[in-house]
Amino acid sequence: MTNRIWLVCLAVLVGCASGTGPVSAQLSSSGPQYHDTGIRTNSNNQSVDRTGSPLYFGGPSTANAVFLGGTPIMRVRVAADGYSPAQRASQIQERLNNLLGMGPITADEITTQQVGADAVVMVKGHLLFTADSATAQFNSTTPIALANTWADHVRKLLPALTEAK
């Protein structure tokens, strides 16, 4: 048993020293099985996840995140039309907060449409998100597919938060 504990400790130390980040080890009949946790360090020796986003206090950053009912629903990672990711996230959060005050919203009132090269998510005819080509490319998809994904996510959350009580 003591040898297995030392093997696990050694695996963690080797993973940290090699710069590959922490690893988790599970013991099995064939010996320890190592699994990369995906946590790395950047050039500033700061812990980051697979996308390069900083990790603070052991969890993902909420920088540039948009929240709905306390749940982060998206993170803006790409600047567009002269707005930084933080500014875009702030605009989306403000729009979402305004929509929450409009009374009940049904899933049918959350729509998507193509607008030039971009796609938008609309709620009761009001703009919520714009899925531009740079953001879609970052997410390895098209603007309309990204807008549809976002709309589907919002359709699951927004109606329940705005229903009459």
Q: pLDDT tens digits, residue range 87-123?
A: 999 999 999 999 988 889 999 999 999 999 999 999 9
The tens digit of pLDDT for each residue in 28-60 reads: 444 444 444 444 555 555 555 555 655 444 445
How far apart, in whole angstroms, are the C-alpha atoms of residue 46 and residue 104?
43
Main-chain dihedrals φ then ψ at residue 73, nearest 5 degrees: -105, -20
The pLDDT tens digits of the residues spanning 133-150 come to 999 998 999 999 999 999
Q: Rounded to two decimals, what is the model's pTM?
A: 0.60
